[in-house]
Structure 1
Amino acid sequence: MTHSLRRGALAMLAAVLAWLPAAVAEAIDIKEVTTPLGIKVWLVEDKSAPVVALSFSFAGGTASDPNGQSGVTNLMARLLTDGAGPLDAQAFRRRQEDAAASLGFGASLDRLSGTLRVLSANRDEGFELLRLALVQPRFDADMVEQRRAQTIARLNQAEQRPQSVAGRTLMTTLFAGHPYANDPEGTREDLKTLTPARLKQRAATLLVRSGLIVSAVGDIGEAELARQLDRTFGGLVVGTVPPLPPEWKPPTKPRTIVVERPVPQSTALMALPGIARDDPDWYSAVVMNHVLGGGGQQSRLFNEVREKRGLAYGVSSGLRTYKRAALLVVSTASANERVAEAIRIIRAELARMRTEGVTEQELADAKTYLSGALALSLDSSSSVASLMHSLQVDGLSPDHLVRREALIAAVKLDSVRRVARRLLRDETMTTVVVGKPVGVVSDSKE
């Protein structure tokens, strides 16, 4: 797509989305509800569809796995819907299907999360299944063995995928000595030691009300939601949340690591220390990243690496935030003979952004897109519940959606240039390349 065509498409997008952000923010009327048991929840009532969606999480994730039990949180989360109370795995799945309910759990570095989506007519059954999964998980030996085998198979497969190898190598390098370096899936050795008793103990440690965050969207009122939540989560102890991981110390010197694999194309990841979600410069960083590589075909990196030189099919950048760390990561893949040039062009674009910042037109285009794209993503009750939950996890207020457009609009050229100088520093960059790259100088081969 040529520059003029991209600009034309963006202008059309601006026309379509001009009214959406404010309209969506006004439509998402968030109510803060506290149940009789003291559970705090954000609720958006929506009678347009007979559905209730719940998004929730507990403090403590895979980074807090006990020593010698890496992977226990991830495995435990997968097993929560593999039978509970009087229901074995097959009976539990059948009950979900009969109730037209969808229930799932997962684990990130910092939190154990879950979702529920159920027809409002069947909400008693949906919430009851969730209660059983939380309060009476079974961890039957046959299901533990099945999920353990699946996890080990995924670990084996990941070792053959350059993108997975690059991602894991980046994390172990950046966070060496820190809990974030550990693979959330665990190690084969530790996984083999995880008994049903250890999984039950991990569930008892994390599934406590003191670390609970809940958002709900759909065809349900405040009083009914409070009743359902107290019935569902009331059987959990109040407990105490696991301690946070230690603070991360970012790298102070550049590093390049090559992991050799017999593949025709090398995968490259380039990471820099990022910016915390509550940093005053957050939206300036979001705008900068959009222009740099987060804006897809409108970004500088795509234009320079893909369009002008054909060095890669794709290239992008993104901001990652964790409780104790933040990153800005650039990713691409290129033929072994050309990956060195792709990396050189990426570094040149980072330097250009650091010294020049963005243009007025780039700033205006980024604001238009960022203001409108969120509205387009909120296409279901589950997506709205997920967004609200992420706001809660980030410690933001319910009116943030109303203020978000103004915060983006307030970003200035100088603030983008300032945050670029702050983040895009060569001396803190870690580069990982997986493949057989030609011309990449490595200070560590693995």
Structure 2
Amino acid sequence: MLIACRTTILRTALVVGLLLTAWPGHAFDIQKVTSPSGITAWLIEDHSNPVIAMEMIFDAGAANDPTDKEGLANLLASTLDEGAGELSSTDFQSALSEKSISLYFRAGTDRFRGIVSTLTANSDTAFEMLRLALHQPRFEAAAVDRIRAQIMAKIRSDTQQPQSRAWRLWLQELFPSHPYGRPRDGTLESVARIDSDDLRRFAKAGLSRQGLSIGVVGDISAERLARVLDQVFADLPAQSSLPPVADQQPISDGQIRVIDQDIPQSVIVFGHAGIAWGDPDYFGAALLMQIVSGGFQSRLVQEVRVKRGLVYGISASLFPRDHSAMVIGSTATRNAKARETVEIIRAQWRKMAEQGPTASEITDAKSYLIGAFPLRFTDSPAIARSLAGFQHLGLGPDYPNQRAAMINRFTADDLKRIARRLFQEENLTFTILGRPQDIPAGSRAKSATQ
């Protein structure tokens, strides 16, 4: 009960602290802090509440997993906080709970993230425990086996979820020989092969200062943060020794691939190559995707749900990963209506490419993308996450204050040009899981066991 109360106090303080740092219309005052050893972090200093949040991003992720050890990065993220230094798994977790410290790690496709949130009074302990987790993880066999069992249970569950399975199969089709085509959590067989030595090797190779990005928010001065940066990160390897991941264009050939499964609905995943983050057209592409699928008034929702009642929901988004940019969308409909749904999606793709957006659509999309931006800063950890993310993308500290201008600069003519580039109806590739009726010519059936 005491632990629950402390956690509630910390969460409340983190949310209250948000109000002075990211309220809409408030300019972001981001300091760039560099430690004596040269480690850099972005800081929003706010002493109005006694809380600190830090997020760090390493250039390591599931794309770096060895081919026979898929799921290694995910298992590492799940076990780094299961004991470190002289503290067993139980003792480490108890110490975090007693001090109301939130410390955890997450492995994405291209990123490995660490997150720590703490009351100022406990911050010395929090940063020391973060240091121990990064430098002296124990990887005790019992703890690793326990977490492995949890991950394998999730993998079994995901294989029974049509939406998860359809996404995985779509990625496999477009990236047949690339890490992006592999399941991020691994497979039952690959996760079973991972041992503590694998975890140690990946941590040593991938958790380095190369490409390290750090965001910090809260009750800490720039001077103290500089000392903390060296305390926690200075002894990490200077360079990553993970094998590089190759850039890869998705193989989007415009086909419809059907995976037979006896389910009431056809689950549809679709997409093709997209526009990369950092491309001058990126925010124009984001405006167009908002118009096509960004909400209830979007073209796809209006055409397939509101006018025809074919689906409950449909969405599509830009997915600009480090080594390949994509547009990915998904929906589900009755097996008898899968063909009609596919044809409407293709028609909307073709219409946008040929005609572009209307003036009112452009105004509404700009208003939404600019107005919704502050809503991602729901608490201090969310702000720290954004600061680390912006830094990792190579943006400057003035990005939050310049973003609206970066969106508003796109004219109607710009967006028509980008629409012709982005909406490649001839390359729109579909994976359908289910038993769709009357699929158009060019489909290629596959067995349900794949």
- Match of 1:209? 209
- Match of 2:253? 253
- Tell whether the 8 Å contact from 1:315 to 1:331 is kept in structure 2 after alignment: yes
- Tell whether the 8 Å contact from 1:301 to 1:346 is kept in structure 2 after alignment: yes
Q: Is 1:63 aligned to 2:63, yes or no?
A: yes
- Match of 1:421? 420
Q: Is 1:99 aligned to 2:119, yes or no?
A: no
- Match of 2:4? none
Q: How far, CA to CA, are the matches of 2:261 and 2:373 in structure 1?
A: 39
The code of the aligned residue for 2:444 comes to: D
Q: Which SS does the other structure have where 1:337 is aligned?
A: helix
Q: Is 1:307 aligned to 2:337, yes or no?
A: no
- Match of 1:8? none
Once the two structures are superposed, the pairs formed by residues 6-155 of structure 1 within 5 Å of their partners are 24=24, 26-155=26-155
Q: How far, CA to CA, are the matches of 2:296 and 2:21 in structure 1?
A: 22
- Match of 1:340? 339
The code of the aligned residue for 1:133 comes to: A
Q: Which SS does the other structure have where 2:210 is aligned?
A: helix
Matched pairs, number: 426
- Tell whether the 8 Å contact from 2:346 to 2:428 is kept in structure 1 after alignment: no
Deviations 1:229-277 (A, max 9, x none): 2111233232335343112133362121111221111110111100011
Q: Which SS does the other structure have where 1:332 is aligned?
A: strand
- Tell whether the 8 Å contact from 1:26 to 1:402 is kept in structure 2 after alignment: no
The code of the aligned residue for 1:112 comes to: F
- Match of 1:437? 436
- Match of 1:318? 317
Q: Which SS does the other structure have where 2:267 is aligned?
A: strand
Q: How far, CA to CA, are the matches of 2:225 and 2:139 in structure 1?
A: 29
Once the two structures are superposed, the pairs formed by residues 401-412 of structure 1 within 5 Å of their partners are 401-412=400-411
Q: How far, CA to CA, are the matches of 1:88 and 1:173 in structure 2?
A: 43
Q: Which SS does the other structure have where 1:328 is aligned?
A: strand
Q: How far, CA to CA, are the matches of 1:21 and 1:352 in structure 2?
A: 42
Q: How far, CA to CA, are the matches of 1:147 and 1:327 in structure 2?
A: 32
Q: Which SS does the other structure have where 2:239 is aligned?
A: coil
Once the two structures are superposed, the pairs formed by residues 207-246 of structure 1 within 5 Å of their partners are 207-246=207-246
Question: Percent identity among equivalent residues?
Answer: 39
Q: Give the unaligned 5+ runs of structure 2.
A: 1-19
Once the two structures are superposed, the pairs formed by residues 189-208 of structure 1 within 5 Å of their partners are 189-208=189-208
Change (3 A) 1:301 1:319: same
- Match of 2:388? 389
- Tell whether the 8 Å contact from 2:275 to 2:325 is kept in structure 1 after alignment: yes
The code of the aligned residue for 1:329 comes to: I
- Tell whether the 8 Å contact from 1:105 to 1:115 is kept in structure 2 after alignment: yes
Q: How far is 1:376 from its partner?
A: 2.3
Q: Which SS does the other structure have where 2:42 is aligned?
A: strand
The code of the aligned residue for 1:223 comes to: E
- Tell whether the 8 Å contact from 2:276 to 2:320 is kept in structure 1 after alignment: yes
Q: How far, CA to CA, are the matches of 2:241 and 2:23 in structure 1?
A: 38
- Tell whether the 8 Å contact from 1:42 to 1:215 is kept in structure 2 after alignment: yes
Q: Which SS does the other structure have where 2:36 is aligned?
A: coil
**RMSD of aligned residue pairs (Cα, Å):** 1.8
Q: How far, CA to CA, are the matches of 1:26 and 1:97 in structure 2?
A: 34
Q: Please identify, of 244-253 and 139-148, the stretch whose mean Cα deviation from structure 2 is larger.
A: 244-253
Q: How far, CA to CA, are the matches of 2:325 and 2:187 in structure 1?
A: 25
Deviations 1:316-344 (A, max 9, x none): 11111111101111211111111221111
Q: Which SS does the other structure have where 2:105 is aligned?
A: strand
Q: How far, CA to CA, are the matches of 1:440 and 1:114 in structure 2?
A: 45
Once the two structures are superposed, the pairs formed by residues 253-402 of structure 1 within 5 Å of their partners are 253-294=253-294, 296-402=295-401
Q: How far, CA to CA, are the matches of 2:67 and 2:311 in structure 1?
A: 41
- Tell whether the 8 Å contact from 1:256 to 1:431 is kept in structure 2 after alignment: yes
Q: Give the unaligned 5+ runs of structure 1.
A: 1-19
Q: How far is 1:48 from its partner?
A: 2.8
Change (3 A) 1:297 1:252: closer
The code of the aligned residue for 1:55 comes to: E
Q: How far, CA to CA, are the matches of 2:252 and 2:56 in structure 1?
A: 37
The code of the aligned residue for 2:387 comes to: M
Q: How far, CA to CA, are the matches of 1:22 and 1:148 in structure 2?
A: 38
Q: Which SS does the other structure have where 2:103 is aligned?
A: strand
Q: How far, CA to CA, are the matches of 2:316 and 2:235 in structure 1?
A: 43
Q: Which SS does the other structure have where 1:116 is aligned?
A: strand
